[in-house]
Amino acid sequence: MNTRLQTPLAATVSRLDRLFPTLTPKQVTRIEAHGRRRSTTAGEVQVEVGDRAFPFFVVISGELEAVRPSETIETLIVRCQPGQFSGESNVISGRPAITRLRVTEPGEVIQLSRDELLALIQTDAELSEILMRAFILRRLELIAQHLGDIVVVGSMHSAGTLRVNEFLTRNGHPFHYVDLDRDRDAQELLDRFRISVHDVPVVICRGQNVLRNPTNARIADCLGFNESIDQNRVCDLVVVGAGPAGLAAAVYGASEGLDVLVLEASVPGGQAGSSSRIENYLGFPTGISGLDLTGRAYAQALKFGAQVIVAKGATRMACDGQRYTVDIDQGAQIRARAVIIATGAEYRKPTLDNLSTFEGAGVYYGATPMEAALCAGEDVVVVGGGNSAGQAAVFLASSSRRVHMLVRGPGLADTMSRYLIRRIEENPAIVLRTHTQIVTLGGEGKLERMEWRDEQTGEVESHDIGHVFMMTGAVPNTAWLSGCIALDENGFVKTGPDLASGDLASTKWPLARPPYLLETNRPGIFAVGDVRSGNVKRVASAVGEGSIAVAFVHQVLRQ
């Protein structure tokens, strides 16, 4: 292999001491109490790319270096000197290593297994802060420098490319993107290999597998996202859904000593993860992007030892036996002593003839910087009058030429927070069109035009606009509950005082006590967040309910 070391990452960062801190002798002693000291020899590889549940090292003497190898070159990431330590996010999550760690100068290290490291950060607050911060910042640097083990070759006009990019981004996995719309050579190469437009994106995973328009589950398998998780044990608590409600339940449950397994059909973060800026969540006066907020919550859940299976959804709940069983994609069954349902809701899709043809190719259900970049300088349409539509309109107005906001009703007052209405009114780039609905979508391969109708005058207008954001309310993700749990007339899960005597009779409620707040008509099965009937559809209420439900889970497990 032709080895060429490039500029070390460490030399390019200004927050050097936070990324690569040097521990004090007292801190090193506290770490050593959890692991063991051993000597190293020059050239010895401590962690190889692809290793699972790999150890964590603190250098006592000598030197270690972390590199990211590709087929032809090695990129030097950092050299760890005495007092410094190895690792980034994967050492906590248990996912396969994406960098190689080897000894450059012999000496001594302290070595901790992943379990020992998890025990350390759960008990030592000071070290937990230093290590978590460094691991997360290092991961962000790898993402910024595209130093991952996966290449995505795609077009931003393809729904599959948007999906894959979003999946990797929201999983915090670094990747290199080759844009076919800009890179003619790459397009020519794909043509020669007869890779058609339906095969895009092409994903090259770990330099080995070439995947054509793979599902998220296929990518998760290839990158080994779920490999370190034992799916056969009986958990204390299974949380289904990793939006704000599920992540809160995971953080509180795992931090209070429960064995928690989280199942996520797509990526952690839920609807909140697709929000460009959340401004009403307590403690963030200047707002925070949904990706940031839920990314931190995800890291926090992992830090406390919760295990999160991604890209595998619950397909069925079996509730006839003594313990509950949740079936997941690809046939596995998860057994648990208690279950928290946190599967949230999904955007309602308007009935428009060829809507699915343009999904991801002009029709979007979330407005993040990724979608905003696609329509910079152009006209866009936002459909809906709720808070998420208002946020999207305000966000898109900063980069688009004009935002047409289409609402069916007479205005926004009944459906949107006052602060958003004021921003919309004050923004000259946003045009509010009331009593208006889209009636047709058109275009070749991607959305190019649409017609909308004024329901009061009946007048139909045609516009050459290629981007529409559908923000038209949500339907609950409860189909997988397969009749096991009482739902309200709109399909949301009924809990606590909302359960009628008939709901309890239908499951032969076996206990003397009535269901707890947030408990369904099955003992030990709770529902939290947007999926719950009567829930206030906010991040704060989802987080609050997730944490409250854990308190009741403790009571159920004690009974």
Binding-site ranges for ligand FAD (CB under 6 A): 240-246, 263-266, 270-272, 274-275, 278, 280, 313-314, 342-345, 366, 387-388, 391, 477, 480, 529-531, 537-540, 542
Distances (CA, A) of 332 to 25, 140, 388, 498: 47, 33, 35, 33
For ligand FAD, the closer of residues 113 and 399 by Cβ is: 399
Q: Which residues contact 59 (CB under 8 A, 6 or more apart)?
A: 80, 81, 82, 83, 84, 85, 107, 109
Residue 392 beta carbon to ligand FAD: minimum distance, rounded to whole angstroms: 6
Residue 543 beta carbon to ligand FAD: minimum distance, rounded to whole angstroms: 8
Residue 171 beta carbon to ligand FAD: minimum distance, rounded to whole angstroms: 12
Rounded Cα distance between 85 and 64, Å, is 9
For ligand FAD, the closer of residues 58 and 242 by Cβ is: 242
Residue 328 beta carbon to ligand FAD: minimum distance, rounded to whole angstroms: 8
For ligand FAD, the closer of residues 96 and 244 by Cβ is: 244
For ligand FAD, the closer of residues 172 and 241 by Cβ is: 241
Distances (CA, A) of 508 to 485, 503, 523, 552: 12, 9, 10, 20
Q: Residue 518 carries which DSSP code?
A: T
Residue 343 beta carbon to ligand FAD: minimum distance, rounded to whole angstroms: 4
Nearest to 431 by CA among 470, 381, 385: 381
Residue 235 beta carbon to ligand FAD: minimum distance, rounded to whole angstroms: 15
For ligand FAD, the closer of residues 90 and 343 by Cβ is: 343
Residue 348 beta carbon to ligand FAD: minimum distance, rounded to whole angstroms: 11
Task: Check if the beta carbon of residue 111 is closer than 8 Å to that of residue 36.
Answer: yes
Residue 320, helix vs strand vs coil = coil
Nearest to 376 by CA among 398, 404, 406: 398
For ligand FAD, the closer of residues 110 and 293 by Cβ is: 293
Provide the token pair at 478. 């409860």
Rounded Cα distance between 226 and 308, Å, is 8
For ligand FAD, the closer of residues 221 and 530 by Cβ is: 530
Rounded Cα distance between 146 and 243, Å, is 26
Residue 126 beta carbon to ligand FAD: minimum distance, rounded to whole angstroms: 31
Q: At what angle do helices 387-397 and 418-426 cross, to 10 degrees?
A: 30
Residue 262's beta-bridge partner residues? 239, 308
For ligand FAD, the closer of residues 388 and 436 by Cβ is: 388
Residue 31 beta carbon to ligand FAD: minimum distance, rounded to whole angstroms: 35
Q: In the chain, count of helices (H) and strands (E)?
A: 16, 26
For ligand FAD, the closer of residues 65 and 166 by Cβ is: 166
For ligand FAD, the closer of residues 148 and 268 by Cβ is: 268
The type of residue at 248 is A
The type of residue at 387 is N
For ligand FAD, the closer of residues 246 and 295 by Cβ is: 246
For ligand FAD, the closer of residues 98 and 314 by Cβ is: 314
For ligand FAD, the closer of residues 131 and 420 by Cβ is: 420
| 3-class SS string, 243-312 | CHHHHHHHHHHHHCCCCEEEECCCCCCCHHHHCCCECCCCCCCCCECHHHHHHHHHHHHHHCCCEEECCC
H/E run at residue 112 = strand 100-112
Distances (CA, A) of 366 to 268, 382, 508: 15, 10, 42
Task: Check if the beta carbon of residue 135 is closer than 8 Å to that of residue 296.
Answer: no
Residue 517 beta carbon to ligand FAD: minimum distance, rounded to whole angstroms: 16
The type of residue at 455 is E
Tokens 């339940």 correspond to 249
Residue 395 beta carbon to ligand FAD: minimum distance, rounded to whole angstroms: 9
Rounded Cα distance between 277 and 255, Å, is 28
Residue 368 beta carbon to ligand FAD: minimum distance, rounded to whole angstroms: 8
Residue 288 beta carbon to ligand FAD: minimum distance, rounded to whole angstroms: 9
Q: Residue 378 class from Cβ within 10 Å (0-12 exposed, 13-18 middle, 19+ buried)?
A: middle
